[in-house]
């Protein structure tokens, strides 16, 4: 019988999948502002495609952090204290990005807008890269002692495997964002985004191959739960293979769905490989943090479960409604930001 701590681990995984699926295209569009747009009007069109959604998409990350804090306080304490500096950079990037969306159109100055465009670019690039580094290093294992304290050196955070993970997550988001632009824009931007996605997907496949290959040597991704993670890798490959096919056929909706499925399966595979661990100790397996030794008490878990089950349908319903209301394509006649 599944226990509440296991249920909350699944919930945290679902929240991160939702975050990377939704905020993934959000980050990708933010990076595309400097990579794909040719003038200020095109940049404004791109920003307006995510204008109604980007702040609601970030709620998934805040909720995931809150769920870890409430359900797994030892996981929260170890991870947030150990990853303090990377999380500060993530926070600065997200704040700067949000401010840039609101401020870039307030002054009629090309220099002003260009400055905020660069803030949007780096504010969209840094979070997925740092999250990729974070998840890769957690999979690889960090020096966690018997008191659940994480005392890591520079090479524990930054190494070939973690940097490859960071680059891979960033590229996945960039591709997802380019395909979102094909759904929300018209004419030249749409064609350019589709062409860019058609070239970028081969780079994404190469990066994914490198990450999976390194995972076989650097982690126990395929040994602890290989009966599940190996089929998931097959599904990820199939998703991106289908994305290549649909991009070539100009089936934008299906292409976007396939890259979204690829992101969801990748995050799902990471959490599957971790379970029942939430953080792997590189010192010895006895010091691993698990859903059992890092969780809250039974009473807290019961109360949180009742609250979550009661509120979650409203949150999901609101997001579906907002995407339905702002479903039409954006052009130069409909600019707010």
Per-residue pLDDT tens digits for 184-226: 998 889 999 999 999 999 999 999 999 999 999 999 888 888 8
Q: Residue 22 in contact with residue 60, Cβ under 8 Å?
A: yes
At 202 the pLDDT is: 95
pLDDT mean over 171-193: 93
At 257 the pLDDT is: 96
Flag whether pLDDT at 84 surpasses 80.
Answer: yes
Cβ-proximal residues to 96 (8 Å cutoff; 6+ apart), any chain: 119, 122, 123
Tens of pLDDT, residues 27-51: 999 999 999 998 889 999 999 999 8
Hey, how many other C-beta atoms are within 10 angstroms of the C-beta on 247?
26
Tens of pLDDT, residues 119-166: 999 999 999 999 999 999 999 999 999 999 998 888 899 999 999 999
User: Of 198, 202, 271, 201, nearest to 232 (Cα)?
Assistant: 271
Alpha-carbon distance of 102 to 29, in angstroms, equals 16
At 252 the pLDDT is: 93
At 187 the pLDDT is: 81
The three-state secondary structure class of 11 is helix
Flag whether pLDDT at 107 surpasses 90.
Answer: no
Percentage of residues in the chain with pLDDT exceeding 90? 71
Omega cis (within 30) before 96: no
Mean pLDDT of the chain: 91
Flag whether pLDDT at 309 surpasses 90.
Answer: no
Radius of gyration of the chain (CA): 20
Place 308 in a pLDDT band, splitting at 50, 70 and 90.
confident
Tens of pLDDT, residues 271-284: 999 999 999 999 99
Q: DSSP per residue over 193-259, as a string?
A: HHHHHHHHHHHHHHHHHHHHHHHHHHS-TTTSSHHHHHHHHHHHHHHHHHHHHHHHTT-HHHHHHHH
Cβ-proximal residues to 296 (8 Å cutoff; 6+ apart), any chain: 70, 71, 72, 73, 304
Alpha-carbon distance of 170 to 23, in angstroms, equals 12
Alpha-carbon distance of 111 to 107, in angstroms, equals 10
């Amino acid at each position: 019988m599944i226990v509440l701590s296991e249920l909350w681990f699944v919930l945290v995984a679902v929240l991160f999948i939702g975050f990377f699926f939704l905020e993934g295209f959000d980050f990708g569009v933010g990076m595309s502002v400097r990579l794909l747009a040719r003038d200020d009007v095109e940049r404004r069109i791109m920003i307006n495609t995510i204008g109604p959604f980007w702040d609601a998409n970030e709620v998934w990350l805040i909720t995931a952090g809150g769920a870890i804090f409430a359900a797994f306080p030892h996981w929260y304490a170890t991870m947030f204290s150990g990853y303090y500096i990377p999380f500060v950079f993530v926070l600065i990037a997200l704040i700067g990005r949000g401010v840039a969306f609101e401020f870039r159109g307030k002054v009629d100055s090309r220099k002003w807008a260009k400055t905020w465009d660069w803030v949007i670019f780096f504010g969209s690039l840094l979070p997925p890269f740092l999250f990729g580094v974070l998840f890769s290093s957690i999979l690889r294992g960090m020096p966690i002692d018997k008191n659940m304290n994480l005392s890591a050196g520079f090479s524990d955070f930054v190494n070939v495997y973690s940097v490859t993970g960071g680059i891979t997550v960033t590229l996945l988001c960039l591709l997802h964002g380019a395909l979102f632009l094909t759904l929300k824009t018209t004419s030249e931007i749409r064609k350019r985004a589709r062409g860019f996605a058609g070239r970028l997907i081969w780079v994404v496949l190469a990066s994914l191959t490198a990450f999976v290959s390194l995972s076989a040597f650097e982690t126990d991704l395929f040994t602890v739960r290989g009966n599940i993670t190996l089929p998931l890798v097959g599904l990820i490959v199939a998703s991106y293979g289908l994305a290549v096919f649909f991009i070539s056929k100009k089936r934008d909706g299906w292409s976007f769905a396939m890259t979204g499925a690829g992101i969801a399966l990748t995050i799902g595979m990471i959490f599957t490989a971790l379970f029942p661990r939430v953080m792997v100790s590189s010192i010895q397996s006895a010091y691993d943090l698990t859903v059992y030794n890092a969780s809250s008490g039974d009473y807290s878990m019961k109360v949180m479960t009742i609250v979550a089950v009661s509120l979650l349908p409203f949150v999901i319903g609101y997001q579906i409604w907002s995407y339905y209301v702002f479903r039409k394509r954006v052009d130069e006649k409909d600019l707010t930001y």
